[in-house]
Structure 1
Amino acid sequence: MLGGVFLINDSPDDMGLGAELDKAKSTLFRKNINCIIHTNNKNMGFVKSVNIGLAEAIKQGCDALLLNSDAKLYTGCIEELRYVAEADPMVGFVSPRSNDAGICTIPPLTSNSQSRMWSEADAYASYLEASRWLPRWHLTPTVVGFCMYIKNIIISEFGVLDEAYGHGYNEENDLVMRANGYGYRAAFANHAYCWHSGSGSFGKSEFVKRDAENRLLLDAKYPEYTKIVNDYFGSPTFRSESVVSGIVTGLPDGKRHIALDLANIGPHFNGTAEMAVQIARSIYKKNHPDGNTILHFITDQKTATFHGIADIGYIEQPNADRRYAAVVHMGQPFGWEGIRRAAYSAPVNGFFMLDTIAQDCGYLHNDDVDDIWRFVAQHSDVIFYISNYSRTIFRNRFEIGQAVTEKVCLLSTNASDYAVINQRNHKHILIVGNHYRHKAIPETVETLSAAFPQKQIVVVGCQSGRLFQNVTFIKAGEIAHDVMEGYYADAEFVVFPSHYEGFGIPIVKSVAYNKVVYARQSGLVDEIVRHITQPHLVKMYKNLMDLPAMIASANTNHLESGVGGEAITWDHVASEVTSIINETLNHPDGGYRLRRRLSALHIIDKNLTQLRNIDDYEALRGEITSMSQSKSWRVTKPLRLAATAIRNMRS
């Protein structure tokens, strides 16, 4: 027989099985496929029976494909296994992907992906969705004997299964490790699929006992086995498969689960919180109850309750082991934990990069921010900007990766999205900001208090070190929402003196209450004005010394109209966010971006782990100091400086 099917009957007394095998042989014959039935004289067990077939493959000079009685090959599986086997001369073993076959299972089992509970159709649909994120094949530490392609050179050179493993379990790992000593590798054919009913060849009750006993034998022969398998489970390759489980459509609800990471947002009001909450509510409104998106909020219960979103999505603790189709970080990340949380939770990662003030202001700056935002610029799937102005600022500081999608989502400029109470009497001047220096609150308060001593001024921002008779300070973030709205409603006019913003919600909110708002002149304010219906209410000043005269001379009843345009709503912003996420989930290069991101993060985490494992930092510092003072260090200094200069020129 030069190739074909070799059927081994290990139950010679089962007449029904014999009859079925005869029928199968006839069917194969009609399809011009050679078939031999070998019937054992007595029940010999799995390993000895397989070795009979492997001996026949050696005799005929053929590759072998081991297939359990409880496995079913899907169309194209054998061709794909053979392709992968021939793709690399040192690949000796190949297994397909499956619904329930240990390390071959795709998507891997996680807390929200229990594939063993799925029907065969649902499991296959989930495989099809997940496999498009995977490369055609990749190397693995081992394969699984339920469906195992073995090159002829392996069994010809290194022999068949070791019968010391009795009735089975770990015998295939033994053969893989035996050949691996000579450099031969195992691989997965990610575009080949084989359904497995799950330990049906032996019975599930035998699995734990046999696996434990045979694992002791395997570890004794190949002590390196456990390490290489554990390394694989921690590798970007395997972690990408776990991450991909968040997108499968075989989940019970058949919906896409999107997580909004609010871990940087606490139980207080600010512009970032308002943006995140309004986008979340708009997504929920669009998808409830019949949409295809389920929202999750990565935050604590206190924050979710404070912002009124606890009833429109699932609350997930930041350290929860969950999988989603996408994670969108609502605001720029300031720690690596936010990067890891997104990378290891979802195949699509999006980040709202609102502004770069934390990098630009020296007193706020730290080295981690540079590295974290550079990682976002190179390895995220989508970077969301809240204005073209903020996009320009970010791009001037960071090089954007070629595979990264950039999306400008100007926030709502629609008055009806903001005004929540009726206008009231003009009681005060409202100055809006916070304690950060770029908000320019102290100097603005001092200037306006002196210029308008008869007017009451309410300041949302930092407490001044000076006492002012006509100024009331309110700490930003701690004001109840309706109280804050009341300050807008009662204002004669509003001043927003910030030097730099990614957007400017106070500007739009002032217009919503039909208030004149004085804002520092910038390209951002120009951009906002182009998208509001009452642009004449926005007054721009060049510097603080001009502001009192501008206010004094303004006739708020006869202001010139600027050039406005169609307003943008929160619903529009939310639609843009979900649209770009869905487009990214369907992008053919999604798997490449995922593996690239996880590989980069793997290197970072590995280096950090090595640093944490240094027991004696003082001793290390002493060694470095001694080295820097050595003659060889001084002699090689010019060469090191030249190498650094060349590297900088190339980068």
Structure 2
Amino acid sequence: MSRTELHILLDLRSVEHSESEVARVRGSLSELVDAGLIAESSVHILLSDAREGAEAVWGDWEWRISFEPDVIQATSDVMLNAAMEGASLLLLRGPVSISSESIAELQAVIAEDTHFGFVFPRFARTEGDGVLKLDARFGDPTLSSIPEAAIGAGPPYDLVPDQLAPVILVRGQVVGLFEGLSQGYETLSGSLLDLVARARRTGFRCVVANRSIAFLDSSESEPALDASDRDRSRLAADYPELAILEEEWAASALHERESLRARAFSRDESLRRTMLVDLTDLGETYNGTSEAVLAFLSGLAEAEGGWKIDLLVPPGAFKFHAIAEISDRLRPVWPQPQSRYSVVFRPIQPWSIQHIERLHGFGLFVFVMMFDTILGDSAIAPELKLDLVWQTMAESADGIFYISHFTQERFRKRFAVADSVAEHVTILPTDPLEYCAQPGSGDGAFIFVVGNELPHKWVGPTIRELLEVFPGERFRTLGFSDPTIPQLEGIESGRAAPAVIDSLYRNASLIIYPSLYEGFGFPVIRGLSFGKTVVARKSDLLLEVASHYRGPGRLLGYDTRAELMEIVARCRMGYDVEPMRLGESLDPAASGISRVRFASEVLSAIEKRMAEPESSNWPRRQLMFERLAYSASTAV
């Protein structure tokens, strides 16, 4: 716009006529005149009274001063005058200042679309860091401002519902179409909101120009822009859709988006390096999932590197697993976090789309850990619809961590992983010292068959086959019991304390792990760490796990029932059996992967992705969940 295409109205009725204020306004207007944005005669100043000397103080240029008591009429006249000259009007209300560059940005945005009717800048305090939130009522309640870098890296503008601000650029065409402001309102705000609503009904939108920043005086409260109760009632009656628009504004993703981005772009490490670890469905039981989670938490406590880490964990599980003893830096929050985080990490694979959606609401980046695809493949729980859940994760998470290459291969053959989803293989701990500090042979009084009650563990069939061939042998099992078999002692899976489990490993003569399908196989590493002979079913996974372990024990693989029986027989008689090679993927001096290394690899991958906040898939997830919510709300 040229200097003849912009008029300015300064509503200074709430401002003291002090020398400092006059100097501030004079300096701002001089900059705009010098920049060629306005002519002196296109500036209108609205004052509260005609006290002696006020006109001389304010009007020694060609400014147009108004002391009219009817502020709505005075404003309408100025707006219509600008419209008649083919100009837009920049309305500034109260102690607010805006640079020529920011006004030019407002003009650039309003020129983007002929139906952008009202354009607002972002706001900041003259003393203070960052840009104020779009609406102080919404978004992260612990944040009041957004780093300017976060605003600058985002979209140049956002469409918003009907609203007012201390600075508004009004398209002249809008004023001309509706012949100024409606009378009969008590406040200027009420009359302006009426104009915004009338214009919106004909397609003219309100827009926030994110690259334009206006400054509010830090010593002043924000200008009073609220309409009176009477005006609000009239607006609600004339424009009943306003109630829905208010609800939509309160729920708008813009608030969460900017709050989450604020943390990722913050120079304050206490805001940027924040992580919520989701342990929502960590049960009060011992299993491979809990062992992996506890390994991650203990490694994280040593390798956290300045992160603030909260755990979304049920109090019962927190106590059951003695998580408080790991580190006091792992702070439990339940049932709902009170703030937002840069990162949400779920070290347990999700079991529902609601899991993913809930994580999305807490952080800009969402990462998950995938153990295996067994439950989906076996269809034991078809009501979970895991194919849909995991495909959603594959399309919308920011990163997926797999506990083995074997798991990654299974997952990628079943689900299409989006290019924007980072994939990482982080092998669970394999260092024998993480499992047993002092290997010992024990009394070797029984053969220990490890698993649980799930069919793919294959514990029951294996025990029955072993009893047929070795009826005099004593067996102990984890995950299978049969009181009719006197030589078998079964222990319920998930309830035995770690010390009890360790005793079983230490005192076994042989450990058999017959599982048909795993993502890692803790029993293999644990058995080897106790210096035992471990017999496990051959697979690419077994080769992978073996290649990351170096230490005591020997690992024997089998394919068929006959091979298993032969291996057990040879081991009982002390005959040689060719063991699998161990540690081939490790450096020569390494014994395995420690918990600290495991957690550090996870953190390193997360930090790499965080270094590019714009790479977050948050917008994609938000749109997906909004569509799902809409579909559910309109379903017949």
Q: Scaled by the length of structure 1, what TM-score is found?
A: 0.82
The 1:497–1:153 alpha-carbon spacing in structure 2 relative to 1, beyond 3 Å, is same
Report the AA paired with residue 609 of structure 1.
S
Question: Contact between 2:93 and 2:166, CA under 8 Å: does it hold in 1?
Answer: yes
Match of 2:454 in 1: 436
Are 2:145 and 1:128 aligned?
no
Give the match's secondary structure for 1:81: helix
Q: Distance in 2 between matches of 1:13 and 1:529?
A: 79
CA displacement at 1:167 relative to structure 2: 3.6
1:454-500 CA-to-partner distances (Å, cap 9, x unmatched) read 43322111334x52222111111111122212221222221111100
Match of 2:389 in 1: 372
Q: Which runs of 5+ in 2 are unaligned?
A: 51-66, 126-130, 587-591
Q: Distance in 1 between matches of 2:570 and 2:258?
A: 65
Match of 2:532 in 1: 515
The 1:235–1:415 alpha-carbon spacing in structure 2 relative to 1, beyond 3 Å, is same
Are 2:627 and 1:607 aligned?
no
Q: Distance in 2 between matches of 1:578 and 1:225?
A: 46
Report the AA paired with residue 471 of structure 1.
L
Structure 2 counterpart of 1:79, from 72, 97, 104: 104
CA displacement at 1:508 relative to structure 2: 1.1
1:245-644, aligned counterparts within 5 Å?
A: 247=264, 249=266, 253-287=270-304, 291-310=305-324, 311-320=328-337, 322-366=339-383, 368-420=385-437, 423=440, 424-464=442-482, 467-534=484-551, 537-554=554-571, 555=574, 560=579, 562-565=581-584, 566=586, 567-587=592-612, 589-590=614-615, 593-611=617-635
Question: Contact between 2:530 and 2:553, CA under 8 Å: does it hold in 1?
Answer: no
Question: Contact between 1:428 and 1:492, CA under 8 Å: does it hold in 2?
Answer: yes
Give the match's secondary structure for 1:87: coil
Are 2:83 and 1:62 aligned?
no
Q: Greater shift after overlay, 491-500 or 308-317?
A: 308-317
Q: Greater shift after overlay, 406-415 or 158-167?
A: 158-167
The 1:130–1:568 alpha-carbon spacing in structure 2 relative to 1, beyond 3 Å, is farther
Are 2:117 and 1:92 aligned?
yes
Structure 2 counterpart of 1:10, from 8, 13, 16: 13
Are 2:198 and 1:178 aligned?
yes
Question: Contact between 2:462 and 2:514, CA under 8 Å: does it hold in 1?
Answer: yes
Q: Distance in 1 between matches of 2:575 and 2:189?
A: 84
Question: Contact between 2:35 and 2:100, CA under 8 Å: does it hold in 1?
Answer: no
Question: Contact between 2:8 and 2:90, CA under 8 Å: does it hold in 1?
Answer: no
Q: Distance in 2 between matches of 1:387 and 1:107?
A: 45
Report the AA paired with residue 367 of structure 2.
G
1:545-581 CA-to-partner distances (Å, cap 9, x unmatched) read 3212112213488865615232222222212211222
The 1:501–1:564 alpha-carbon spacing in structure 2 relative to 1, beyond 3 Å, is same
Question: Contact between 1:430 and 1:494, CA under 8 Å: does it hold in 2?
Answer: yes
The 1:505–1:556 alpha-carbon spacing in structure 2 relative to 1, beyond 3 Å, is farther
Report the AA paired with residue 183 of structure 1.
G
The 1:163–1:249 alpha-carbon spacing in structure 2 relative to 1, beyond 3 Å, is farther
Q: Distance in 1 between matches of 2:244 and 2:90?
A: 27
The 1:177–1:285 alpha-carbon spacing in structure 2 relative to 1, beyond 3 Å, is same
The 1:440–1:252 alpha-carbon spacing in structure 2 relative to 1, beyond 3 Å, is closer
Report the AA paired with residue 133 of structure 2.
T
The 1:278–1:129 alpha-carbon spacing in structure 2 relative to 1, beyond 3 Å, is farther
Q: Scaled by the length of structure 2, what TM-score is found?
A: 0.84
Report the AA paired with residue 321 of structure 2.
H
Match of 2:57 in 1: none
The 1:264–1:275 alpha-carbon spacing in structure 2 relative to 1, beyond 3 Å, is same
Q: Which runs of 5+ in 1 are unaligned?
A: 117-122, 615-651
Q: Distance in 2 between matches of 1:46 and 1:431?
A: 87
Question: Contact between 2:8 and 2:89, CA under 8 Å: does it hold in 1?
Answer: no
Report the AA paired with residue 61 of structure 1.
G
- Taking only aligned residues, the RMSD between alpha carbons, in angstroms, comes to 3.2
CA displacement at 1:151 relative to structure 2: 1.7
The 1:563–1:95 alpha-carbon spacing in structure 2 relative to 1, beyond 3 Å, is same
**What number of residue pairs does the alignment pair up?**
594
Q: Distance in 2 between matches of 1:83 and 1:39?
A: 27
Q: Distance in 1 between matches of 2:167 and 2:359?
A: 34
Question: Contact between 1:69 and 1:201, CA under 8 Å: does it hold in 2?
Answer: no
Identity %: 24
The 1:151–1:514 alpha-carbon spacing in structure 2 relative to 1, beyond 3 Å, is same
The 1:170–1:382 alpha-carbon spacing in structure 2 relative to 1, beyond 3 Å, is farther
Bigger proportion of residues as helix: 1
Give the match's secondary structure for 2:408: helix
Question: Contact between 2:134 and 2:255, CA under 8 Å: does it hold in 1?
Answer: no
CA displacement at 1:301 relative to structure 2: 1.3
Question: Contact between 1:143 and 1:188, CA under 8 Å: does it hold in 2?
Answer: no
Q: Distance in 1 between matches of 2:11 and 2:22?
A: 10
Q: Distance in 2 between matches of 1:259 and 1:469?
A: 49
The 1:573–1:98 alpha-carbon spacing in structure 2 relative to 1, beyond 3 Å, is farther
Match of 2:133 in 1: 105
Q: Distance in 2 between matches of 1:359 and 1:11?
A: 65
